[in-house]
Structure 1
Amino acid sequence: MAKPIRGSAGPRHVAIIMDGNGRWATQRGKPRLFGHQAGARRVREIVEACPECGVSYLTIFAFSTENWKRTQTEVAGLMSLFRRYIQKEARALRENDVRVRFIGDRVKLDVKLRMLMDELEAATAHCSGVNLTVALNYGGRDEVARATRRLAEDVAAGRLDPSGVNEETLPRYLDTCLLPDPDLVIRTSGEARISNFLLWQSAYAEYEFVDTLWPDFTAAEFMRLTESFGGRERRFGAVPA
């Protein structure tokens, strides 16, 4: 178990549940997709703020496994938005030294979107600045189920000894196996729940639930939250010194 940390400089890995796009649009008499478009533009500002905040890893929750329950019109609009975003932002991401990864189950996504995701990952694989991870068709329970299935297949094939399976084994099968666990999880829009996001990885993360709707979430507020993190004592189950 990690040792208690007092007053760390700031979070290395921040994960964000970008909530409130629909409400932001409704407040302005616009369709929900208008809010999602505004939210997509906000992503660039937060990514660009990461180096100044000392954040090396940023993970954003773009579309959950439960979001398929929304109207067909909204889902189709979101999928189109994802495709356009990748095409529009690919060059800027490379120029800003941002490495992009996607996590989640890609099987249900359309072929064109999957192709663009693969291309963006390959095009930014050499980047070493900010590590941006986009959770797309992602659910924490689904991720653990898929990881457990692969682990069971390795046990059945004799590649893994079941007696050696422990809490360090499963993370090697998770979508986030190449990433450090998040230090700070932020949820916008005033909702105080984690919505099936990074369930295993966030076991010891600090949480911030803010009232700001995602399209209004500025780099200044992001910086304030990362600075506030530095004043926390993270005990990881230990007692204060």
Structure 2
Amino acid sequence: MSARAMVVEDEAAIAALVASYLERDGFEVTVTGDGGEAVARARSVDPDVVVLDLGLPGLDGVEVCRRLRTFSDAYVVMLTARADEVDTLVGLSIGADDYVTKPFSPRELSARIQARMRRPRNGFAGAAAGRSGTVRVVGDLSIDVPGREVRVAGAPVHLTRTEFDVLEVLSSAPGTVFSRSRLIDAVWGPEWVGDDHLVDVHIGHVRRKLGDDAAHGRYVRTVRGVGYRMGTGR
């Protein structure tokens, strides 16, 4: 079956351009310019990728993404005409995986999505051979890599695809400190271009969902000036 993509963009010319690139790359593409309709159609289409405009009329991209995240783990790329960091972080804090600022290169957008879709589901190729297929345990945290399931003290924790991938990479080498750039290569792919503080936002999401925080770092620790590594669970 072909991968499925949804383009949610109210500017018809941009929507058609993005859709044409995705179709060229083999996606079955659904296009809509209405946020409410996008949420409804996503339930039936079950897209693998959603390209989502932030500035939609009515139900804006932030609210659409929030609602998508209640039932979908699609890879969400937000399109925004507002380049300042606040808008970027707003987009990412509600579950977006990546963002592109208008005007943008549809070729670059396509390359980012293709790199993401090619990436091995259970980690990046460079370390895949050395990874265990068993459940990884860090204190009360368990990470079922093949099943892509996370539990804390037996309770399931829902992570987006990207959040799971960040945690999976860190847990693949518990004693290793991963720099932002190394995590970008592992999770988003070496072709990705953008602000590497994207990593910090997703680390924050993972910590919040695990009931962890930067001060204690039971599961994810900050190594100042270097990056992040797994904690000990204590």
Shared fold (TM-score greater than 0.5)?
no
- Which structure has greater helix proportion? 1
Larger relative contact order (Cα-Cα within 8 Å, sequence gap ≥ 6): 1
Give the TM-score, by structure 2 length.
0.30
- Which structure has greater strand proportion? 2
Which protein has the larger Cα radius of gyration, Structure 1 or Structure 2? 1
Give the TM-score, by structure 1 length.
0.29
